Amino acid sequence: MDELPVVSLWRPDAVEPRVLSADSQGRVLSHTSAGQAQHGLHLPGLVNLHSHAFQRAMAGAAERRLHPSDSFWTWRETMYALAERFDPDRLQAVAAQLYAEMLEAGFTRVCEFHYLHHAPDGRPYADPASMSLALIEAARETGIGLTLLPVLYMQGGFDGRALGPRQRRFGLDVERWLQLFERLRGENLLGLVVGCALHSLRAVPPEAMAELLAQLPADCPIHVHIAEQVGEVQECLAVRGQRPVAWLLANAPVDARWTLVHATHLDAYERRALAASGAVAGLCPTTEANLGDGLFPLPEFLAEGGRIGIGSDSHVSVSLVEELRWLEYGQRLQRRQRTLAADEAQPGVAARLLQACLASGARSGGRSSQLAGHAQPLQPGADLDLLELDAAHPAFAGADPAHWPERWVFASNRPAVARVWARGQLCVEGGRHRQADALQSRFVRAMQQLHA
């Protein structure tokens, strides 16, 4: 365990000097008051609740027009073409670079929504878990907490059509999914959580969904892509007679174990019912902007007690700041108002968003079951995940540290995270991951091969 500093821990609108200690697993052992506050500010690390690591290799490479009506669906073809070029080594190289960047941004756990299961021709690797193991090794190399979500992906669309040639490597049926799940649960990596992902309502037939859900352990986190594109909502209405979120709520026991990724297109009933379910809405603002998805009804959902978290998804940006900033800015642009994520109890926009993300992280990451009740970050038993803002950064000049989150999210473009601990281990110092240089050289080589 690395030595921990006396921390100046951010609490909404206050700063508490604390001394933290960790057990050998990197969990908080004690949390005691430390008389004098130090200058600076520490926050609990955040969970990045949605990642497709391989897509980091595509960031910025799909921004040239291919078609007069480029869309999510034309982007997806480019993404599939890149996906074909991955093998386990390239995946590990790209994922490790990505995870190091996440740590530098202040994310201390990642929920990896993983569906590149097989070789490009659709045949399983000699070890069918090879691609998942590459992700586990990337997490081990970087120190990030990993919630690995092997994805069930069975069909090419709502109508039940077979997987297309470029989707073959994603395919698993329920039986083979359960084999992979059991195998991964036996892997030895500190802090590893193995959960379940259903790719989307498009990719999983209703009977298979029910069959799989019935066999999951009670504490298993469950993630699903849902209602991201208008076309998907229309197809779901046509084939299943309900909008996607309404259909899921009616056909699955959606509760606090669930993370609904995107959930962009909600009617008022769906929005209220999702808020009441205890599930987390997994918002991915920079990817949703990049893909032209639409805007989530944030102020209403928060007012109704809904839970949110953020993910960097396609990794066109790997920045906590940018995700939170765009989450608020999208609402401002749409409604021509300001401070839309704030409310009377919490007037700080960044503070409210951070509070919401910190409260949902343990659920989405599958870490709440280890504790009594729902894990609050940095309480005894929770992972010792911590970030330190750079007290010398000009963004914070003149501000009360309790209000630094607003300065950080709205006014720092140069990175402001100085140090990051994941499960008690110091991973980032001076804003850089401790293995940044070596990871980056290997990443550059992999990128040259992937784009050759």
Q: Which residues in this chain contact ligand NGQ in the complex, by CB under 6 A?
A: 52, 76, 200, 225, 228, 287, 291, 313-314
Amino acid making up residue 329 = Y
> 73 to each of 3, 260, 439, how far by Cα in Å?
48, 20, 32
- 300-314 residues labelled b (16+ CB within 10 A) or e (exposed): ebbeeebbbbbbbbb
Select from Zn ion, ligand NGQ, none the partner in contact with residue 433, using the beta carbon and a kind-dependent cut-off of 5 to 8 Å: none
DSSP 342-382: --SS---HHHHHHHHHHHHHHHHTT-GGGSSSSPPTTSTTS
CB of 54 to Zn ion, least distance (A): 11
Q: Which is nearer to Zn ion, 51 or 425 (CB)?
A: 51
Q: Active site residue: 42, 262, 265, 433, which one?
A: 262
Select from Zn ion, ligand NGQ, none the partner in contact with residue 287, using the beta carbon and a kind-dependent cut-off of 5 to 8 Å: ligand NGQ
Amino acid making up residue 302 = L
Residue with tokens 């929920």: 111
Q: Is 313 a catalytic residue?
A: yes
CB of 194 to Zn ion, least distance (A): 18
Select from ligand NGQ, Zn ion, none the partner in contact with residue 53, using the beta carbon and a kind-dependent cut-off of 5 to 8 Å: none
Q: Which is nearer to Zn ion, 112 or 313 (CB)?
A: 313
Interacting residue ranges for Zn ion, rule: CB under 5 A: 313
Strand ranges for 28-71 from DSSP E? 28-33, 41-44, 46-51
Q: Which is nearer to Zn ion, 28 or 197 (CB)?
A: 197
Select from ligand NGQ, Zn ion, none the partner in contact with residue 27, using the beta carbon and a kind-dependent cut-off of 5 to 8 Å: none
> 57 to each of 44, 81, 94, 181, 287, how far by Cα in Å?
28, 12, 7, 26, 14
Residue 121: Cβ within 10 Å count: 9
Give residue number: closest CB to Zn ion: 313
Q: Active site residue: 117, 118, 293, 313, which one?
A: 313
CA angle 183, 115, 69 (to 5 degrees): 175
Amino acid making up residue 115 = Y
CB of 210 to Zn ion, least distance (A): 23
CB of 76 to ligand NGQ, least distance (A): 5
3-state secondary structure of 90: helix
CB of 290 to ligand NGQ, least distance (A): 9
Q: Is 262 a catalytic residue?
A: yes
Q: Which is nearer to ligand NGQ, 7 or 53 (CB)?
A: 53
CB of 406 to Zn ion, least distance (A): 29
Give residue number: closest CB to ligand NGQ: 52
Select from Zn ion, ligand NGQ, none the partner in contact with residue 8, using the beta carbon and a kind-dependent cut-off of 5 to 8 Å: none
Q: Which is nearer to ligand NGQ, 17 or 157 (CB)?
A: 157
- Residue 55: DSSP 8-state: G
Q: Which is nearer to ligand NGQ, 76 or 240 (CB)?
A: 76
CB of 241 to Zn ion, least distance (A): 25
Long-range Cβ contacts of 160-168 (<8 Å, 24+ apart)? 160/205, 163/122, 166/77, 166/80, 166/81, 166/83, 166/84, 167/80, 168/118, 168/120, 168/121, 168/122
Q: Which is nearer to ligand NGQ, 323 or 385 (CB)?
A: 323
Residues 6 or more apart in contact with residue 394 via CB below 8 angstroms: none
Please identify every residue annotated as catalytic: 262, 313
